[in-house]
Structure 1
Amino acid sequence: MATAAPQKITTFLMFEGRAEEAITYYLSLFDDAEVIDITRYGPDGPGKEGTVRLATFSLAGQRLMCIDSYVTHDFGFTPAMSLYVQCENEAELDRLYGALAEQGSELMPLGSYGFSARFGWVNDRFGVSWQLNLPA
């Protein structure tokens, strides 16, 4: 039996101390979700001990990677790059939109915009942008 080829392109998210919190939150939102691998900084750094040096996790079969950067940056996440989720039904769309918008910000409220049956766009509490779509 042949094994599946590794995913060639992987979304990479850089946090500044909240990577594990974000992973845990995202895993709670999707049924098919798991941590694949996680390594943390030790007492010798260079990051704060226990923060995420590198993690790989999967949401609905899509692998993502993330780190806790120990360097403070003058930039963060931007809606110009977002995670696009094709929802299976209206209940899933409503649940994800509500959860991701909590402590976040709405960019496009749930509605019909002509290109889908229902669509919404939010930045979550970590600043990561999500487009949620219910296909026509």
Structure 2
Amino acid sequence: MAQSVRPFLMFEGSAEEAMNFYVSLFHGSQIRRIERYGPGQQGAEGTVFRAEFTLAGQEILCIDSPIHHAFTFTPSFSLFVECESEAELDNAFSQLSIGGSVLMPPGNYGFSNKFSWVSDRYGVSWQLNLQ
């Protein structure tokens, strides 16, 4: 396999749910592969051992950690999305903000036509931009 750098998201039991949600929001997105924990393995049977998915062509890896950690996602790392249209930005914002928190509501902040920053219900941070 060729050397690559990809975002890696660690969940605690909601990786598959999050992937399905994310790929439903952006064109050119799909779940490419899911490996699951089996009987007698460290993680809960059926949860995600390792998965690969793409969002608008960007490859992302994720897992369901079998170990509880004292940390989670932080807004200091976010997924930055160049939206194709205002409708795409508005839809993504409305879906991602359900159960999450709005860090910057949609608006013109001077550096683009429209921008928003939201942390979703899984704790993943998203910057949505309309150039």
TM-score range, shorter chain: over 0.9
Q: Which ranges of 4 or more aligned residues in structure 1 deviate by more than 6 Å?
A: none
Match of residue 133 from structure 1:
129
Alignment of 1:34-73 (within 5 A): 34-73=30-69
Match of residue 80 from structure 1:
76
Distance 1:81 1:32 in 2: 22
Equivalent in 103, 113, 116 of residue 117 of structure 1:
113
Superposed CA offset, 1:33-92 (max 9, x none): 111111000011110000000000011000000000010000000000000000111111
Equivalent in 102, 118, 126 of residue 106 of structure 1:
102
Per the normalisation by structure 1, the TM-score is: 0.93
Pick closer, same or farther for the CA change 1:95–1:65 going to 2, 3 Å: same
* Unmatched 5+ stretches in structure 1: none
The residue identity in structure 2 corresponding to 1:51 is T
The residue identity in structure 1 corresponding to 2:26 is F
Pick closer, same or farther for the CA change 1:7–1:58 going to 2, 3 Å: farther
Q: CA RMSD in A?
A: 1.2
User: What's the % identity of the aligned pairs?
Assistant: 56
Distance 2:25 2:117 in 1: 16
Per the normalisation by structure 2, the TM-score is: 0.96
* 1:31 partnered with 2:9: no
